[in-house]
Amino acid sequence: MASNAPVGKPADMSAPHMPKVAGIDPAAPSPPHTTGPLAGVPAAAPPSDAGVPPGALIQDRLASWVSDLTTLHELTERLIRSASLDEALREVLGAGAALVGARRGMAVLEPADGHGPTSTIGLGLAHADLGTIETVPRSATSYGRLLDGLPDPDRPARVPDPITIRDLRTEEGLDPRHREVAARLGYAASYALPLATEEAGRLGAVVWLYDEPAEPSERQRHLIGLYGRFATEHLARLLQVERARTRLSTISEELLPHRLPRVPGVQLAARHRTGPQGGGDWYDALPLPDGALGLSVGSVSGTGPSALAAMGRLRASLRAYAVMEGEDPVAVLSDLELLLRLTEPARSATALFAYAEPAQRHIVLAGAGHAPPLVIGDRRTEFVETSLSAPLGMLSCWEAPSVELSPAPGETVLLYTDGLLRRTGDPVDRAFARLHAAASGVPKADRSDPDAIVDHVLRALLPEETAPVPDGEDVVLLAARFA
């Protein structure tokens, strides 16, 4: 395989022996205020076309440079708008294919520190095609040589050169399996670029595939080199965000119940979608004496680790108050409000606590600045009428009346946090209407399964968010179906 050295820093724009133009003597020294050459712009070669005015050649080269800079600007602007690693890798694949004149390719994300995440994405290649390429010994592939040849990112080193294979049929020393896979998939040449800089270390590699024997021109290599360095830095930033999001999501999940309790007479289901900065939303289901059940949802103000810690403390305290006086939800929230005001004076929180007796299908609940529960059944879908109250920590002394509810057999009571409504992006009234419509639209066959109910509501309100919420707030749903 032949390795092509990266294009070095371009030469100066001004040629040392510029022809005479419009009476200007090229031997005359430049005035002292003349600016230096532009970094990143290739030097113009001396004109060689006989009979072509020098001014026209200069204009052509300037037009070419402007076109290249405009193209890079547009491609980098599109890349900046990508908000996830997979989206950014797809953008890099597409932009790079346009710059080097290829039709297909693959990107491999594999950070050198081994902390992940890792992924492989194809352009013009099906999932099976990627699997076929991965059957080639890694050390025999261009991307494998780039990934495995880079040292530890903690040790500064020169970034390896891109690897060009102009013709896979005639390349010397090529692994037979590599040649066989190329013939099967119908590509004849490749150009591999490392996604690495000395600052960011190794993040991965990109390979573009040509249908016929080919290689990028000097100009194309220069442009893809500039774009690749920018793309690597952008991917490094997205990688930091993704890792921080994963850590916060893990912490948040660890602070919530690992499993829901089994209580006769009621079926439970819950969903929790964590925002990128780690919000303070929680849910809980706690078995209480005499077959009772405590249900709660809530949200602490703020985001990040401090909000997660405050949420954990508040949820643990609410469990203690529920054990001591759960049959009186107002007393539970009053004690929680006093604790919040004394220990977290800079925070506020919304909360809803329900004391349920499944055997009697009876619920007593109280809410502090929280959205009303929703009752979903075969004969009705309606919000529970609760009194308007302030969030915890907003007043010197919180108190609100409780509400009693008796769900019919087979009905489900849905508790949720405000994040579910806000994530819709609609005004409050419209968001409530959409939630009601989503709950009313649960198929009859699914109404006996609380898991199916919460999944249907999530898909209806947030159709594009089946994974952790890409931006915005946490989303929590807790459903209790009574037998």
Contact by Cβ (8 Å): 409, 361: yes
Please report how the helices 54-80 and 218-255 are oriented relative to each other, as an axis angle in degrees rounded to 10. 10
- Name the pLDDT band for 31 (thresholds 50, 70, 90): very low
* Better-predicted residue by pLDDT, 387 or 312: 312
pLDDT classification of 386: cutoffs 50, 70, 90: confident
pLDDT > 90 fraction of the chain, expressed in percent and rounded: 64
Tokens of 301: 């103000």
pLDDT at 150 (0 to 100): 55
Alpha-carbon span 440 to 478, nearest angstrom: 17
How far is residue 107 from each of residues 172, 250, 407, measured CA to CA in Å? 25, 27, 54
Domains of the chain: residue spans and CATH: 66-245 (3.30.450.40), 256-482 (3.60.40.10)
Write down the pLDDT at residue 255. Answer: 81
Of the pLDDT bands very low, low, confident and very high (cuts 50, 70, 90), residue 51 is low
Predicted confidence at residue 256, as pLDDT, reads 86
pTM of the model: 0.63
pLDDT of amino acid 43:
45
Helix, strand, or coil (residue 302): strand
Whether pLDDT at 11 is above 70? no
Mean pLDDT of the chain: 85
* Residue of higher predicted confidence among 447 and 48: 447
Spatial strand order of the sheet with 412-416 comes to 266-273, 475-482, 412-416, 374-376, 381-383
Average pLDDT in the 233-251 region? Answer: 87
| Token digits of residue 403 | 């509400």
- Per residue in 196-226, pLDDT (tens digit) is 998 888 999 999 999 999 999 999 999 999 9
Alpha-carbon gap, residue 32 to 45, rounded angstroms: 24
Alpha carbon dihedral 440, 443, 449, 452, in 10-degree steps, equals -90
Checking if the pLDDT of 2 tops 60, the result is no
In terms of average pLDDT, the best of 4-8, 66-70, 148-152 is: 66-70
* Nearest-angstrom CA–CA distance, 190 and 225: 16
More confident residue, 80 or 159: 80
For 269-301, write each residue's pLDDT tens digit. Answer: 999 987 766 678 999 999 999 999 999 999 998
Cβ–Cβ under 8 Å, residues 199 and 149: no
Q: How confident is the model at residue 45 (pLDDT cuts 50, 70, 90)?
A: very low
